[in-house]
Amino acid sequence: MKNYKILYIILFIFILILLTSCSKNISKNENEKTDMVTSIKLKKELENNSMSKMNIVKEKYIEVNYDAFNIADRYKTPEGYERLVVQKGSFGEYLRNKRLKAYGNKAVYYNGRTKSSKGIYDSVYDYPIGDKNLHQASDAIMFLRADYLFNAKKYDDICFSFVNGFKAEYSKWMSGYRIRISNNEATWHKDAEQIRTYDNFMRYMNMVYAYCSTISLPNDMVSVGISEMQIGDVFLSLRGSGHSAIVVDMAVNKKNGRRIFMLAQAGSPAQQTQILINPNNSEISPWYELDVNNDIITPEWKFKSQELMRFK
């Protein structure tokens, strides 16, 4: 009987040792499984991050200086291209060097709301547009032209045609004349002293915004062939609701003569002026290739190559 008792004790100890060993093996297997899953997850994350970095590099093919505040300094040209030389004090120099908002800032509508940049624009010109629904597509182009002339002290060259044909000359406005509208007729009336401040200039521009449009802008411009494109030229479409965009920079490939350009636009409702992305070629965006045979497809409009115009 005593021998059986000893045998039972030995058997119990053996079973206990066996269970402990199995438990350790199970725990080890679970740990190994957990380690394997973690390793797979980390590998996938690394692969995904690598893909993301590749995509970012591809999407940002053109080198961007995020700390720069104008087109000339912010955007490099594609490999093999050089910016066209512009005359000092020219409209082209003005557009290329006009201040931009900090990189990543959104375009703002007249009512303070922001416009999504996704698939539309990459930068925004930095100037106020007021709190009225006035600064739209053609208005932005007229402002850029007039602002350049005002700062260059070329006051006599600032003149825009109203939709009814009236010529709104800034030189007369600056001399103290004001425009009165009655029964669709516009007339000049002297009712102020001569004043040449920027605030007064902007009051003139608000009048221009109100009575000029995409329909009237061609009266102040001439058509040019797309092969003759210059910085400051404007794509102006009267089809449908009409739209316009202005050429704000250009570059040329010295080896093959190919040219590229950048476009800027505002729109409706009134909004700040944006540097457009190229929706058809992310490798050179925001540059566009100059192709005399094809339409110019922008994120929000398609222009005909025959719709290029230049201020008189």
> How much is the pTM?
0.80
Which of the pair, 24 or 178, is modelled with greater confidence? 178
Residues 261, 288: contact at Cβ < 8 Å? yes
Report the distance separating Cα 268 and Cα 256, nearest Å. Answer: 39
- What is the pLDDT, as a whole number, of residue 24? 45
- Tens of pLDDT, residues 194-229: 889 999 999 999 999 999 999 999 999 999 999 999
The answer to whether residue 242 scores a pLDDT higher than 90 is yes
The per-residue pLDDT for range 92-143, each reduced to its tens digit, is 999 999 999 999 999 999 999 999 999 999 999 999 999 999 999 999 999 9
The encoded tokens of residue 255 equal 């080896």
Q: Please tell me the predicted confidence (pLDDT) of residue 33.
A: 39
Task: Quote the pLDDT of residue 192.
Answer: 85
pLDDT of res. 191:
87
Residue 212, token pair as written in the block:
């000029």
Strand 296-297 relative to strand 288-289, pairing: unpaired
CA nearest neighbour of 188 among 210, 213, 171: 171
How much is the average pLDDT of 222-246?
A: 97
Cβ atoms 307, 285 nearer than 8 A: no
- The per-residue b/e assignment along 221-248, b for 16 or more CB within 10 angstroms, e otherwise, is beeeebeebbbbbbbbbeeeebbbbbbb
Q: pLDDT digits over 264-305, tens only?
A: 999 999 999 999 999 999 999 999 999 999 999 999 999 999
2-16, 59-73, 168-182: which has the highest mean pLDDT? Answer: 168-182
% of residues, the chain, pLDDT over 90? 77
